[in-house]
C-alpha cells in the first residue's frame, strides 16, 4: 500500500472517530436543570429548595441554597440525575434533567405561582395540590362553597372531586407518563386520607362545647367504621408497595396505617413489602434523632432497631445522621453561632463564655413556642440578677417579623435573632427547642426539657 493511500485511510478513520464521538456526545442526556425568576413576600437573602425525593424517599436531608439579589430574583443551575420532587416554601416542584424553568413564586400561596418554559406543565399542575395535614380534599369544601354535615355525605361529596382531578391528570400534555402515574396514585392517597380525616366533621362542635370529648371520639370511631370499606377500596386501586410513593407527604401517613397487620388481614389487603417495613423502622429512627438527639436512651433504641434494617441505603442514611448528631452529644463543644440584637449588632455565642447559657429557640408563628413563653419568661425574671447564667430568647422568624413583634410587645430579657440556616449544626427540624450550654461553652443538652415541666430549671441549676 503506497503512502498516499495510507494517508487517505488515516484521514477517513480520524473523521469517522470524530463523528462517532460527536454522535456519542449528542446521545448523552442533558443532566442540568436551570430555574430562574422571582419570589414575593420573602425577606431572606437565600431561597431554600428542599429535595423532597431525597428527604422522604431516601431519608437523606438535601436542601439547595439559592442566592437572591436585592430584588428577590434568582438564577440557579444544578445537576439532576433523575426526575425529582422539590419544595420551595409552600410550592411543590417536579423537575427533570434538561428542564429550563422560569418561575414567579409567592410564599403566601402556591396557587399564585406561575411557570413558563421546559417543565412548566407539570409544575403548573402541582399548584393545585391539597394540603395532606389539612385533611386533603377538605380544603375543597371552602373553595367550592360546599357544606358537609355527616359521614354519610363524605363519599358523595369527595368522590366527584377525586374523579374530576383524575381526569385533569390524564388530560395533561407535555408531561411524562411517569408523572401521570405518580400523580394519579397521589390523588387516590389524598382521597383515602380525606376519608380517614372524618374528625374534621366534629372538631368544631367540640371546640364550641356542643359535644364532649368522649362524644366526639365516639362519633369519629363510628365514622371510621362506616368509611373503612371505601378507604380499603381506594387502597386496592394502587400498588401501595411502590417505593416511589414515598416522595409524597400523604403516603408517609398511609404506610403506618398499612403497616398494621390486623388492619391488613381484616380488610384482605396485601402486606407491606420488606423494603417499606425497613423504611418505617429507619424513618422512626430518624424522627427519634430529631426529638432526642445523641443520648443514651436514643442510642439504646438505635442499636436495637438498626440490626433489623436490611436495606443498605437506609443503613447508610442513618449512619450519616448518627455522625452529624455525635457533634451534639453532651460534653461536646457547642457549635459557634452569631446572633443579632434589636439594634442590629452581632452577638457571638462566645460573648457569654464563663456563664451558663440557656437558649429558647422560638418563632411568632409557633403555637407551642408561645405556650412555653410565659414559663421561660418567669425563669428570665427569676435569674436576671444571677451573674453566673444568661437566658436568651432567640427567634428564627424573618428579621422584619421579629422586629415588628417588639413594636407591639415588651422585651423581656435578652432578645436575639438568627436565621434558621445559620443553625445547621444544631439540626433544627422543629421548635420550640431549648439549649443548655455550660460555662466552658460545652453542650449540656441541646434537646433540653420544656420550661413548663420544671425540668429545664433543674438541669441548669445543677451546673450553676
pLDDT for 232 equals 97
Task: Give 10-residue mean pLDDT values along the chain (464 residues).
Answer: 44 46 53 95 87 93 92 96 94 96 91 95 92 76 86 94 96 96 96 93 91 94 96 97 95 92 96 96 90 84 94 93 88 94 94 96 93 95 94 92 91 92 87 95 94 95 92
Asked if the structure places residue 332 within a domain, the reply is no
pLDDT for 133 equals 64
Same-domain pairing of 139 and 121? no
Q: Is 96 helix (H, G, I), strand (E, B) or coil?
A: coil
Q: Which of 33, 250, 285, 366 is catalytic?
A: 366
Which of 232, 249, 272 terminates a domain? The answer is: 272
pLDDT for 438 equals 96
Same-domain pairing of 440 and 457? yes
Question: What is the C-alpha to C-alpha distance for residues 444 and 418, in angstroms, rounded to an integer?
Answer: 21
Question: What is the C-alpha to C-alpha distance for residues 91 and 123, in angstroms, rounded to an integer?
Answer: 9
pLDDT for 139 equals 85
Instruction: Tell me the CA distances in angstroms from 294 to 24, 173, 290, 377, 426, one per residue in order.
Output: 50, 49, 9, 28, 12
Same-domain pairing of 63 and 189? no
pLDDT for 13 equals 44
Same-domain pairing of 163 and 294? no
Same-domain pairing of 103 and 187? no
**Alpha helices (H) along 38-86:** 52
Same-domain pairing of 40 and 20? no
Exposure string of 346-365, with b = 16+ CB inside 10 Å and e = fewer, is ebebeebeebbbbbbbbbee
Q: Is 182 helix (H, G, I), strand (E, B) or coil?
A: helix
Instruction: Tell me the CA distances in angstroms from 384 to 297, 339, 354, 392, 412, one per residue in order.
Output: 33, 20, 16, 11, 10
Neighbours of 421 (CB within 10 A): 14
Asked if the structure places residue 359 within a domain, the reply is yes
- The DSSP call for residue 51 is E
Alpha-carbon 309 to chain mean position = 23
Grid look-up 428579621 returns: 399
Question: What is the C-alpha to C-alpha distance for residues 197 and 452, in angstroms, rounded to an integer?
Answer: 31
Residue range(s) defining the domain that contains residue 288:
276-326
Before 432, cis peptide (omega within 30)?
yes
Asked if the structure places residue 242 within a domain, the reply is yes
Beta strand 91-95 with 32-40 is unpaired
Same-domain pairing of 107 and 142? no
Q: Which of 425, 426, 440 is nearest to 331 (CA)?
A: 440
Query: Quick one: residue 225, left, alpha or beta (phi over 0 = left, psi -120 to 50 = alpha)?
Result: alpha
Question: What is the C-alpha to C-alpha distance for residues 241 and 7, in angstroms, rounded to an integer?
Answer: 62
Same-domain pairing of 177 and 252? yes
pLDDT for 15 equals 46
What predicted TM-score, i.e. pTM, was given to this entire model? Answer: 0.80
Question: What is the C-alpha to C-alpha distance for residues 33 and 127, in angstroms, rounded to an integer?
Answer: 20
Question: What is the C-alpha to C-alpha distance for residues 32 and 21, in angstroms, rounded to an integer?
Answer: 21
Residues in the chain: 464
Half-sphere exposure of 296 (CA within 13 A, CB side): 0
Question: What is the C-alpha to C-alpha distance for residues 196 and 394, in angstroms, rounded to an integer?
Answer: 38
Asked if the structure places residue 136 within a domain, the reply is yes
Which of 235, 253, 272 terminates a domain? The answer is: 272
CATH number at residue 404: 3.40.30.10
Q: Which of 223, 369, 389, 391 is catalytic?
A: 369
pLDDT for 5 equals 42
Question: What is the C-alpha to C-alpha distance for residues 86 and 255, in angstroms, rounded to an integer?
Answer: 21
pLDDT for 442 equals 96
Beta strand 63-67 with 91-95 is unpaired
pLDDT for 103 equals 96
The verdict on whether 369 is a catalytic residue reads: yes
210 with 245: CB under 8 angstroms? no
Exposure string of 1-18, with b = 16+ CB inside 10 Å and e = fewer, is eeeeeeeeeeeeeeeeee
The verdict on whether 366 is a catalytic residue reads: yes
Residue 233 corresponds to which cell in the numbers above? 377500596
Amino acid at each position: 500500500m503506497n503512502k498516499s493511500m495510507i494517508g487517505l485511510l488515516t484521514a477517513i478513520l480520524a473523521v469517522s472517530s470524530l463523528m462517532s464521538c460527536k454522535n456519542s456526545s449528542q446521545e448523552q442526556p442533558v443532566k442540568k436543570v436551570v430555574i430562574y425568576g422571582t419570589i414575593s413576600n420573602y425577606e431572606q437573602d437565600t431561597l431554600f429548595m428542599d429535595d423532597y425525593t431525597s428527604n422522604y424517599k431516601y431519608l437523606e436531608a438535601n436542601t439547595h441554597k439559592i442566592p437572591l439579589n436585592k430584588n428577590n430574583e434568582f438564577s440557579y443551575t444544578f445537576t439532576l440525575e433523575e426526575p425529582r420532587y422539590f419544595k420551595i416554601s409552600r410550592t411543590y416542584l417536579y423537575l427533570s434533567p434538561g428542564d429550563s424553568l422560569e418561575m414567579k413564586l409567592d410564599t403566601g400561596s402556591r396557587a399564585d405561582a406561575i411557570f413558563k418554559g421546559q417543565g412548566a406543565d407539570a409544575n403548573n399542575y402541582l399548584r393545585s395540590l391539597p394540603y395532606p395535614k389539612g385533611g386533603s380534599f377538605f380544603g375543597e369544601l371552602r373553595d367550592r362553597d360546599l357544606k358537609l354535615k355527616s359521614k354519610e355525605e363524605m363519599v358523595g361529596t369527595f368522590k366527584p372531586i377525586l374523579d374530576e382531578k383524575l381526569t385533569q391528570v390524564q388530560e395533561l400534555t407535555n408531561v411524562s407518563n411517569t408523572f401521570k402515574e405518580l400523580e394519579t396514585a397521589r390523588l387516590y392517597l389524598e382521597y383515602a386520607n380525606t376519608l380517614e380525616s372524618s374528625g374534621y366533621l366534629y372538631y368544631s362542635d367540640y371546640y364550641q362545647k356542643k359535644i364532649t370529648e368522649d362524644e366526639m371520639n365516639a362519633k369519629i370511631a363510628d365514622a371510621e367504621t362506616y368509611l373503612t370499606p371505601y378507604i380499603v377500596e381506594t387502597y386496592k386501586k394502587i400498588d401501595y408497595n411502590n417505593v416511589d410513593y414515598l416522595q409524597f407527604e400523604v403516603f408517609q401517613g398511609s404506610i403506618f396505617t398499612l403497616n398494621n397487620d390486623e388492619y391488613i388481614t381484616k380488610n384482605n389487603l396485601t402486606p407491606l413489602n420488606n423494603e417499606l417495613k425497613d423504611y418505617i423502622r429507619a424513618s422512626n429512627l430518624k424522627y427519634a434523632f430529631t426529638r432526642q438527639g445523641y443520648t443514651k436512651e436514643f442510642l439504646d433504641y438505635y442499636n436495637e432497631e438498626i440490626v433489623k434494617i436490611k436495606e443498605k441505603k437506609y443503613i447508610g442514611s442513618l449512619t450519616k445522621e448518627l455522625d452529624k448528631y455525635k457533634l451534639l452529644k453532651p460534653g461536646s463543644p457547642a457549635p459557634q453561632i452569631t446572633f443579632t440584637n434589636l439594634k442590629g449588632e452581632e452577638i457571638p455565642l462566645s460573648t457569654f463564655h464563663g456563664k451558663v447559657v440557656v437558649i429558647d429557640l422560638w418563632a411568632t408563628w409557633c403555637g407551642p413556642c408561645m405556650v412555653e413563653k410565659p414559663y421561660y419568661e418567669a425563669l428570665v425574671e427569676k435569674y436576671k440578677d444571677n451573674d453566673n447564667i444568661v437566658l436568651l430568647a432567640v427567634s428564627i422568624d424573618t428579621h422584619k417579623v421579629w422586629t415588628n413583634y417588639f413594636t407591639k410587645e415588651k422585651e423581656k430579657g435578652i432578645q436575639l435573632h438568627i436565621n434558621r440556616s445559620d443553625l445547621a449544626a444544631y439540626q433544627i427540624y422543629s421548635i420550640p427547642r431549648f439549649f443548655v450550654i455550660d460555662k466552658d461553652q460545652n453542650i449540656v443538652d441541646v434537646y433540653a426539657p420544656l420550661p413548663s415541666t420544671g425540668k429545664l430549671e433543674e438541669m441548669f441549676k445543677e451546673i450553676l
